[in-house]
Chains A and B, each alone.
Chain A
Amino acid sequence: MTAQEVRLCGLLLREHFGEVVEKVGTHLLKGGAQNLRTIIHETGISLDLVKKSLCVLVQHGACVFRSGRKGAGSPTEYQTCCDRILRILRYPRYIYTAKTLYGDTGELIIEELLQRGHMTMSGTIKTVADRLTQNMEEGRSMDYSEVSSAFFRLVETHFLQRCPPLAGAEPKDSATPAAPAPPGTPAAPVSTAPPTPESFPDCYKVPHVTLVGRGKRQLASEDGEDQRNAKKAKMDSQTHGDEGICWQVNFERFHLHFRDQAIISAVANKLDQTSSEIVRTMLRMSEVTTSPTATCTKPLSANEIFRSLPTSYNIPRPILDQYLTLLIDDPMEFVGKAGESGGGMYVVNMHRALANLARATLESVVQERFGSRSARIFRLLLRKRHLEQKQVEDFAMIPAKEAKDMLYTLLSQNLVQLQEIPKTPDYAPSRTFYLYTVNQLPTARMLLQNCYKTVANLVERRLFESKESKRLLEKSQRIEAILASLQASGAEPEQLTEVEEMITAPEKQQLEALRLHINKLDSAENQVDETIFLLESYINSTASTSLLNDIDGVRLEGQTHIDLDNASRAGH
């Protein structure tokens, strides 16, 4: 956890769960695995509150507990990981995706589960039905079975999964002391971490649940009571046969979906709509057969692709072959050919596509920040790996003085690195080659940290703006409450206007401006989150591929042999 990640997690925890949880959470993030007594002692918060905060964190999957390292008898230790907390930033995107795929019902199911962390199926269905009924017209209500079917569909496509049973009840593999993951395994969690939900065979099995009924419309009541009711878990006396089986949102599946979407839109931008439809079909066909960490999908034959194309795209077979050939020839290498059987076997190169997208992100950052000429130099260095200053000037066709200036600016921002190749053992500056180079992976990591800092800045600014106008906001809320109550009890229009005039015009303007600001900051957070997603996927994908390829020794991404030919040709 870097400092920026911890700061961002703290802000997110504070916004969603309050200050106490924030304190406990950040303490756990900074301190690693600790037991209860240490937490209480070091944060100075009372036992009761610490217990409740830990409950909240565990409920949302942010904190895991296991028996202590010192042996079977030592107290349980709690550990937080910032990944899960950073996902909070992406909740709006998950909810929106569910809405586009499964409609309002799906959206509400995902929203409920995200808010509650873990919930049983019956509980979810009832709550969602109630909410849907709330928004429908008088006299209509939502049937449980409709919500159940939406739930089934979500489980079928693996967007929802069962929570893993508690670590204590599990076989030994979760409690073994830390052993280094044997080389060659795909990116699996280290054996000390709790087992993934996927390692259980029942992960996606829907329990048999007896749930008959319709959603209940909530009666109009005071605001205070509503709040209290919403916070308390609805204690239902009915049992439905699925106690103890809690469900959670499967973030990985959503991430795969986002990744596929990114690839499809990149293909649409670069080539055309039809090619992107073909790639979409290929990805849809390999949804269940490809593991999440694979670098490319399983080979699909052209015949299969032709059969699975959506019927609205009436492409004759030879044209499909042409499109596939074009996709293969494209320098971005989205699609590759893996053989000739079945009319040609094609794969989607996901790792390559992610690398290209990450590279485009880096280039776009340099372009917007430093100008298109610096972007030219940056792309040149990405292509040619190592170049001397003179060569950079010649290839980029930029006058020497300006090129030097731009290179030094990029160097000071650490986007470009300098590689020294000495001619003599004493590294004398006049007898050393200095080559400029760009390493994609470390630069991506650096930009990712910048993104975290940016989001934290945006969140802080938003909190600051709300705090500044707190008085005004409270006043407007009070007035709205008065208006609502007056309207409900039937008042004359003059009274209403009188109440409305309690807010002056400049105050109204201020409120309006505040609303705009906060919306802008919110949407900016979402946009930066998209960048975060791309960079994170690229870094994870590279880490897992290099782990797979690691046979003898460490081979870092981006480190290649230096083109000595080029260097010596320019040499003196």
Chain B
Amino acid sequence: MAEVKVKKETNLSDATEVENRIKQLCQQFPHGITDQVIQNDMPQLEPQQRAMAINKLLSLGQLDLLRNSSGLLYRMKDVQSASKMKGSDNQEKLVYQVIEDAGNKGIWSRDIRFKSNLPLTEINKILKNLESKKLIKAVKSVAASKKKVYMLYNLQPDRSVTGGAWYSDQDFESEFVEVLNQQCFKFLQSKAEVARDSKQSPMVQRNSSFATSHEVWKYISELGISKVDLSMDDIETILNTLIYDGKVEMTVIAAKEGTVGSVDGQMKLYRGVNPVIQPTGLVRTPCGLCPVFDDCHEGGEISPSNCIYMTEWLDF
């Protein structure tokens, strides 16, 4: 009898002891511990008791349950974050977990519903709750302006959501892009002119008229016209628009890994070019630019004989 009693008492004390022991183990291994580790530490513990202890810790919110390739991991939860969740119920914790998992890309409310299997009304209530507690925030996505994604309060939204350097408050900053466009072009053009005036051998002339994307990036950063920090990729997108304007051409050369500005052993070089032909003959006549060209025929309302554009052009 006494043995039973003793056993029971040891069981009870064992339970708290087990929990403490598990907590200590967690603190020892901040990356997390597996079932195996707990078993090795307390070989006399039955699996049922172990499970009970772990469940208690989980429900108290002191332990985090993770899964990795080899099985389940238990990790000590941050005391601070544990305190945050005090007073919230399980559903809120679940939603919070889901949002946290989404990282800085944020997650849409419908996706939260899929992941947590909670009804929409519940979700909305919980989201409002969490927002008022300042645990999460809503960020408007630039792709679809009506869509709101939720992410943790203190995270920076990812570039794909806000659009990166070219967007400020969901608005595409076209004047900013234009200014950068012109500055880059002027830089490349002046470099080409300097090279042309230097009157050296043609090969040297051409090579000195090239500018790497790194140089352009440095020039633009030093100009200081940008409020946000621009990366080299941003500058390359601007330079690409100049290529599509037909003002600049690009070549790629192989570069040693160590040289400044090389990416994967390549460097992109840009230089300003002149247009190949003058504006073509067709567009020097009013017909080439006429908005009603297709409606014009002899004897109609709009005809060459009574064309007002022609009259203006002839009197010019």
Contacts and interface: CB of A to CB of B under 8 A. Distances in A.
B285 A368 contact: no
Contacts of A274: 202
Interface in B274-308: 274-285, 287-289, 293, 296, 298, 303-305, 307
Given A454-B287, A457-B287, A372 B305 contact: no
Given A383-B244, A397-B166, A454-B287, A364 B280 contact: yes
A369 interface: yes
B314 interface: yes
B305 A326 contact: no
A246 interface: no
A363 B307 contact: no
B282 A396 contact: no
A457 B249 CA distance: 38
B48 interface: no
A339 B177 CA distance: 45
B277 A521 contact: no
Interface string B230-262: 000000011011001110010100000000000
Interface string A222-233: 000000000000
A531 B304 contact: no
Contacts of A513: 315
Given A270-B274, A326-B203, A529 B314 contact: no
Given A517-B314, A528-B282, A266 B305 contact: no
B282 A325 contact: no
B202 A396 contact: no
A531 B288 CA distance: 11
A368 B279 contact: yes
Interface string A500-539: 0000000000000100110011001011111100100000
B194 interface: no
A375 B314 contact: no
A357 B314 CA distance: 29
Interface stretch (A43-51, A68-76, A80-88, A458-466): A458-466
Contacts of A367: 279
B274 to A, nearest CB: 6
A356 interface: yes
B154 interface: no
Contacts of A360: 275-277, 280
B69 interface: no
A395 interface: yes
A365 interface: yes
A524 B296 CA distance: 18
A397 B313 CA distance: 35
Contact of A451 (B245, B274, B278, B282): B282
Contact of B280 (A325, A361, A376): A361
Contacts of A365: 280, 282-283, 288
Interface string B71-107: 0000000000000000000000000000000000000
Contact of A397 (B237, B251, B276, B285): B237
Query: Which of B274, B281, B287, B289 has most A Cβ within 10 Å?
Result: B281
A457 B202 contact: no
Contacts of B241: 376, 395-397
A400 to B, nearest CB: 7
Query: Which of A331, A454, A527 has most B Cβ within 10 Å?
Result: A454
A464 B202 contact: no
Contacts of B45: none
Contact of B276 (A266, A275, A325, A531): A266
Contacts of B305: 460-461, 464
A269 B275 contact: yes
A430 interface: no
Contacts of B304: 456-458, 460-461, 464
A356 B273 CA distance: 15
Contact of B246 (A363, A396, A447): A363
B245 A399 contact: no
B277 A369 contact: no
Given A527-B281, A531-B282, A395 B244 contact: yes
A368 B289 contact: yes
A289 to B, nearest CB: 27
Contact of B285 (A272, A356, A454): A454
Given A367-B279, A368-B288, A397-B238, 18 more contacts: A269-B278, A270-B273, A274-B202, A326-B203, A357-B277, A360-B280, A364-B279, A364-B283, A365-B280, A368-B283, A369-B288, A379-B246, A383-B244, A395-B237, A396-B244, A458-B285, A460-B305, A527-B284
29 contacts: A269-B274, A269-B277, A270-B273, A270-B276, A274-B202, A319-B202, A325-B203, A332-B276, A360-B280, A361-B280, A363-B246, A364-B280, A367-B279, A369-B288, A377-B244, A379-B246, A397-B166, A447-B282, A450-B282, A454-B282, A454-B288, A460-B304, A464-B304, A520-B314, A521-B314, A528-B282, A528-B285, A530-B280, A531-B280
Q: Which 6 A-B pairs have the closest CB atoms?
A: A527-B281, A368-B283, A454-B287, A457-B304, A464-B305, A399-B172
Interface of A: 265-266, 269-270, 272, 274-275, 319, 322-323, 325-326, 329, 331-332, 356-357, 360-361, 363-365, 367-369, 372, 375-377, 379-380, 383, 395-400, 447, 450-451, 453-454, 456-458, 460-461, 464, 513, 516-517, 520-521, 524, 526-531, 534
